[in-house]
Chain A
Amino acid sequence: MVNPESALEGTLPIAVASCPRELSDLRLAQHLSQDPHGAAPELYDRFASDVNRWVWRLMGADADHNDVVQQVFVRVLRTARRLRDPERMVPWIHSITVNTVYGELRRREVRRIFLRHHDPAPPHADFVREVEVRDLLVRAKRLIEKLPTKERMVFLLHHVEGRTLHEVAELCGYSHTTAKRRLGDAHRRFAVLAARHPELTRALMHNKERADERPSAAG
């Protein structure tokens, strides 16, 4: 896993393979390098949707969602001058987002080691949808939090965010082999954990099947 700080130094990490090359991004990159203070609202408006989505899904509707999003944007603005290729702005921001989330999860992992009692935080108050879904998420998060942070990130990026192994490797700064190994380790560990909670897996599947059924029922 890329160190959150080192990822921002020198050559910026390359992330998702395909990214839109919009003129607005080029203009925004120029604005950022010339006047980061003034470009802050434009940067936020352009990427708030993306960053919120990634943080929300990688951290599982976390109660500290807003804090992490804020960290991402502050980090982007502080290091904007180092962006050498404005056309890589989108993957660069994705990469910073992943590294910020990783840093936060790592901090929590370390904190858990020193805290005797640890109650997982409740999900963000916005996470409603359906009451039973909320409860399922809390239980699923407890399970996934048992994975080591590096494996957890790879697992989430691949299975929840739907990134290919190649993309995961680039986002995390791994070689393809390392990403594959981490995912394999996560699978093995996860299988053991899931076997201890068959009711959770069943409930999640039931929830998804019900969601999948709706369009076909209407059609």
Chain B
Amino acid sequence: MNDPQRLGEALSAALATGPSRATLASQREATIEAMRRSVAPRRTWTFPAFALAGTVVAVVALLWVRAGPSELHASFHGQALAEQTRLVASSPDGEPLDFSDGSRIVLNNHSEISVSRLSRERAQIELNRGSLAARIKKGTGRAWAIDAGPYSVRVVGTEFSVDWDREQAELEVRVTEGRVLVVGGDLPAAGVAISAGGRFVRHNRPGKPAAPQKLEGSSAVQAGVPEPAAEAARRPGLSTTEPSWRSAAQSAQYALALQSAERAGYEDLLKSLPEKDLLLLANTARYAGSAARARQALLGLRSRFARSPSAPVAALMLAGLAEDHAKNPGEAATWLRLFLKESPQGELSAGARARLLGILVRQGRQSEARSVASDYLRYHPQGPYASKARAVLGSAPSP
């Protein structure tokens, strides 16, 4: 077996089969609409003058459509913002964020957002905490999404507000004009549509921290344009510095990132970093080969953000550290059990159950293995390890 083939297989295993149900649900509506627009019947003009005018309009429209939406830029207090910039509002009157297409988002006091993506086709804002009011320009052809924890509010052109209480894992969306679709979390696969005048409140139920991917995904912070600290500090609301350890981590220089974090005071970072950065720090330490530092960060994350969706993810990673680095399968099993208790049906639960099952079988803990095998078949009857679970239970595999 040659290297490209092995790498291809490894990549294939990493990619699995496709996007989540929530993404597919929101994709369906937009795609069918785009398909229908592409084959919409054209009107036939009776008079030559109208025909000529129609042709001119059609050509202009065609050129416009082919050109697609224009580039999108964001500015904060008149200063251009790069993607992946984080903003924290510090004015009681709110902080406006203006976009080149005429859209505007007003960030309420103490609220925090990350400008995740600004492109011709898409704008993506992550509401880390607090609330915002948005007025999105219609007819630009650009898809907007406001992500809040495991939820995502999908917008075309409308006016609405989003309030995300991270500690309580509570989302509130109010729509003033137009219509939005809320997807993700523990919502139905098709999402929930909210029309003008509507209000939507959702608690992320304990024991079902749905869709941890939103938090994990956003933890992969990308490098933005770094700005001088002094300049940032002069502007209200803008988070002041981009820690150098994070920049190094973003460019996959994990050993360097860990050194920078040590210089900045690793213990202090553990106490002060927000949830997502703490997860990034844990990964940085793991990739740099420091299992002890990674473990510290993960334990810190679980201690400080016990109710967040990142907490069960941290438990899963702690299981990996215990099994792969500390060679302590007993501890790994404990973390896996904790993860499964906190996330019994999450997207990562099938793999965690299979892992736990493997450990218990290897340790000869037959009765516990049978119990986990039974759970596996209950939650994942079509899972890839279903036949193995049946074998553990001693029943004949299905044909």
Contacts and interface: CB of A to CB of B under 8 A. Distances in A.
Contacts of A53: 17-18
A136 B14 contact: yes
Contact of A44 (B16, B17, B32, B357): B32
Max count, chain A CB within 10 A of own CB: residue among B39, B212, B214, B216: B39
A78 B354 contact: no
A217 interface: yes
A109 to B, nearest CB: 17
A209 to B, nearest CB: 9
Interface stretch (B5-13, B71-79, B86-94, B228-236): B5-13
Interface string B20-54: 10111011101110111011110000000000000
Nearest to A190: B4
**SS class, residues of chain B in contact with chain A:** helix
B327 interface: no
Contact of B19 (A56, A129, A134, A187): A56
B358 A126 contact: no
Contacts of B6: 201, 204-205, 208
Interface stretch (B190-198, B266-274, B387-395): B387-395
A214 B355 contact: yes
Interface core residue of A124, A131, A138, A161 (most chain B CB under 10 Å): A131
B12 A44 contact: no
Nearest to A187: B4
Nearest to A218: B388
B19 A131 contact: no
B217 interface: yes
B3 interface: yes
Interface in A195-209: 201, 204-205, 207-208
Interface string A134-162: 11111110001000000000011011111
Interface in B112-163: 117, 121-122, 143, 147, 152
Nearest to B8: A159
Contacts of B358: 213-214, 217-218
Given A56-B19, A136-B14, A70 B30 contact: yes
Contact of A40 (B35, B41, B317, B361): B35
Given A44-B32, A78-B39, A128-B347, A63 B23 contact: no
Contacts of A134: 216-217, 220
A215 B384 contact: yes
Contacts of B23: 65-66, 124, 126
Contact of A126 (B5, B7, B20, B361): B20
A158 B24 CA distance: 26
B187 interface: no
A207 B32 contact: no
A156 B20 CA distance: 22
A131 B317 contact: yes
Nearest to A66: B27
Nearest to A42: B32
A211 to B, nearest CB: 5
A57 B15 contact: yes
A144 B8 CA distance: 10
A122 interface: yes
B18 A131 contact: no
A188 B176 CA distance: 58
A114 B353 CA distance: 48
Contacts of B222: 119, 122
A45 B29 CA distance: 11
Contacts of B4: 155, 159, 186-187, 190-191, 194
A43 interface: yes
Contact of B147 (A36, A125, A191, A215): A125
A128 B213 CA distance: 5
B362 interface: yes
A21 interface: no
B36 A160 contact: no
A60 B15 contact: yes
A65 B68 CA distance: 17
Contacts of A40: 32, 35-36, 39
Contacts of B287: 132, 135
A122 B12 CA distance: 18
A204 B4 CA distance: 12
B279 interface: yes
A36 B34 CA distance: 12
Interface string B191-222: 00000000000000000000011101111101
A85 interface: no
Nearest to B254: A135
A1 to B, nearest CB: 19
A123 interface: yes
A187 B5 CA distance: 9
B305 interface: no
- Nearest first, the 5 A-B pairs at minimum CB distance are A159-B8, A217-B358, A128-B213, A204-B10, A218-B388
29 contacts: A36-B39, A37-B40, A40-B32, A43-B35, A52-B27, A56-B15, A57-B12, A65-B19, A65-B23, A70-B30, A119-B222, A123-B217, A123-B220, A127-B213, A128-B348, A129-B348, A134-B220, A135-B287, A140-B7, A160-B12, A186-B4, A190-B3, A190-B4, A205-B6, A207-B10, A208-B9, A210-B324, A213-B358, A217-B358
Given A70-B34, A139-B252, 11 more contacts: A37-B41, A48-B28, A126-B217, A127-B213, A128-B217, A130-B317, A159-B11, A194-B7, A201-B7, A204-B14, A205-B6
